[in-house]
């Protein structure tokens, strides 16, 4: 089994298909419908169980992707804050990043290519 | 526009003034007094003309300012709409694209479960649901354009409003309990359009209703047909009661829910085109009641 990945997206279908794509590649996937639920889950997770990669949607109810990233960097600067995170968004076009993200944050423009998604995860997933 | 007005008015003033001056000069045999008198009058008239012109310019400036404001507003709404619309269309496209590519990859790699019947069944269902979602978004955009150009067509036939509501509830199969009571209410309506309105209302009741039961009542009241949909959800603040029937308006920020923010705007236009009324009673945390009123027809 490869590393585990957190998928955070408010759209049920997107969540399901992303999870299916990554599980088919042997990753262990945990999916959440907003940033707050994912953050709560992270607080309950032991260090050994931390995900190796996080894909978070930009626009979501309760807590959006950018706020989630800021919270993670603030609350867990030395642990989860170091995990590679990709912000996915349907807001910009494929070449344009809609928000000014710190350089370490990766960007996935929706609708994404499966090959790009898998390459990004394979190259960056820590465990 | 202003320059042409000034030159036109100036010519209108100069021509008769020159004519009068020549007449006076001839009649008074070029008397100096008459010439000064005439010049004084022309000066006075010019002052009055300049005052009138300044007033007119000020009025034109205000009209231009107003036009510029409404144009900027329209451009802002257009840009906002395009952002929301492209976001809403890209979301189902994301699922569709990934589903297709996952299937393509499985086939090209000759995976043993590539043609698994359960997998194909799920793929077909998800594809169908994503396509329906996109069709709905495109229909709403087309309706917006039809409303703007006055082309929203209504083909009326006689139906029972209660039966229409019942069939919509049956078709949508909401995942929350629905308490229903119906009275026979014959109305002359465009079935597809009224179903469209009812779907918007029921969908909203489910989306914002916190999973609590929704009550639907169809009754005859004071000679009209009344359909009420009452949810026990988050409710809508009083200052938004009128606003949510406007274009691109919603009770919560766009990031909180999906959709174009056109549902209630289109619903109101459809009900108004049926000589009916749609209204809302709601308070924060006390749920919302949407009421449709349509004229009854004789049995």
The helix (run of H) or strand (run of E) holding residue A119 is: helix A114-124
Q: Which two tokens stand for residue B129?
A: 């649901």
pLDDT of residue A90: 84
Across chain A, which distance is largest between two alpha carbons, in Å?
37
pLDDT of residue A95: 53
What is the length of chain B? 299
Q: Which long-range contacts (CB under 8 A, 24 or more apart) does B99-103 make?
A: B99/A17, B99/B123, B99/B126, B99/B127, B99/B130, B100/B127, B101/A113, B101/A114, B101/A115, B102/A17, B102/A20, B102/A21, B102/A24, B102/A114
Nearest CA in chain B to A113: B98
Q: Which residues of A touch B (CB under 8 A)?
A: 10-11, 13-14, 16-18, 20-21, 24, 59-61, 64, 90-91, 110-115, 117
Reported in sequence order, the residue ranges of chain B that DSSP labels E, i.e. its strands, are 157-160, 178-182, 186-189, 214-221, 224-230, 277-282, 288-295
A60 vs A57, B42, B68, B114, CA distance in Å? 7, 72, 35, 33
Residue the block writes with tokens 């406007």: B246
Decide which of B74 and B9 is more confident: B74
Q: Which two tokens stand for residue B6?
A: 């000034």
Q: Above 60 in pLDDT, residue B14?
A: yes
pLDDT of residue A115: 94
Sequence-distant (≥ 6) Cβ neighbours of residue B40 within 8 angstroms: none
Nearest CA in chain B to A61: B256
pTM, to two decimals: 0.70
Q: Does B98 touch chain A (CB under 8 A)?
A: yes
- Percent helix, strand and coil across chain A, each to the nearest 5: 40, 20, 40
Select the residue of B102, B130, B252 nearest A13 (Cβ to Cβ). B130
Nearest CA in chain B to A63: B256
| A57 touches A88 (CB < 8 A) | yes
Q: pLDDT-derived band of residue B43, with 50, 70 and 90 as boundaries?
A: confident
Q: CA of A54 to nearest chain B CA: how many angstroms apart?
A: 18
A13 and B129: CB-CB below 8 Å?
A: yes
CB half-sphere exposure, B183, CA atoms < 13 A: 13
ipTM of this predicted structure: 0.87
Q: Which residues of A touch B98 (CB under 8 A)?
A: 17-18, 21, 111-112, 114, 117
Sequence-distant (≥ 6) Cβ neighbours of residue A119 within 8 angstroms: none
Q: pLDDT-derived band of residue A9, with 50, 70 and 90 as boundaries?
A: very high
* Distance of alpha carbon A121 from alpha carbon A106, whole angstroms: 10
């Amino acid at each position: 089994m490869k590393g585990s990945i957190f998928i955070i997206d408010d759209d049920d279908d997107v969540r399901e298909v992303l999870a299916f794509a990554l599980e088919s590649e042997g990753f262990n996937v945990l999916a959440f419908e907003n940033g707050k639920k994912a953050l709560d889950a992270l607080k309950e997770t032991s260090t050994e169980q931390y995900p190796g990669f996080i894909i978070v949607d930009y626009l979501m109810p309760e807590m959006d992707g950018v706020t989630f990233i800021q919270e993670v960097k603030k609350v867990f600067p030395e642990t989860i804050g170091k995990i590679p995170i990709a912000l996915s968004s349907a807001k910009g076009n494929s070449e344009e990043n809609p928000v000014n993200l710190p350089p370490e944050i990766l960007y996935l423009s929706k609708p994404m290519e499966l090959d790009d998604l898998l390459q990004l995860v394979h190259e960056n997933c820590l465990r | 526009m202003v320059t042409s007005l000034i030159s036109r008015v100036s010519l209108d003033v100069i021509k008769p003034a020159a004519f009068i001056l020549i007449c006076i000069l001839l009649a008074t045999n070029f008397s100096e007094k008459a010439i000064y008198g005439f010049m004084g009058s022309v000066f006075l008239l010019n002052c009055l003309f300049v005052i009138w012109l300044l007033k007119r310019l000020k009025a034109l400036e205000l009209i231009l300012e107003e036009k510029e404001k409404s144009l900027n507003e329209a451009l802002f709404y257009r840009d906002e709409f395009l952002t929301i619309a492209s976001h809403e269309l890209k979301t189902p496209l994301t699922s569709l694209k990934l589903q297709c590519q996952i299937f393509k990859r499985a086939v090209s790699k000759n995976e043993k479960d590539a043609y698994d019947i359960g997998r194909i069944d799920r793929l077909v269902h998800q594809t169908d649901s994503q396509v329906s979602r996109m069709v709905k978004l495109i229909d709403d955009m087309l309706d917006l354009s039809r409303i703007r150009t006055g082309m929203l067509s209504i083909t009326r036939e006689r139906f029972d409003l209660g039966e229409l509501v019942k069939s919509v509830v049956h078709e949508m199969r909401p995942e929350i309990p629905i308490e229903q009571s119906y009275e026979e209410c014959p109305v002359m309506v465009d079935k597809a359009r009224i179903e469209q309105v009812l779907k918007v209302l029921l969908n909203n009741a489910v989306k914002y209703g916190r999973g609590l039961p929704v009550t639907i009542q169809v009754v005859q009241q004071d000679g009209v047909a009344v359909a009420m949909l009452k949810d026990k959800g988050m409710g809508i603040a009083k200052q938004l009661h009128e606003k949510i029937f406007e274009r691109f308006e919603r009770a919560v920020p766009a990031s909180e829910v999906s959709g174009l923010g056109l549902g209630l705007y289109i619903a109101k236009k459809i009900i108004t085109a049926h000589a009916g009324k749609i209204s809302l009673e709601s308070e924060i945390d006390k749920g919302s009641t949407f009421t449709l009123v349509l004229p009854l027809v004789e049995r």
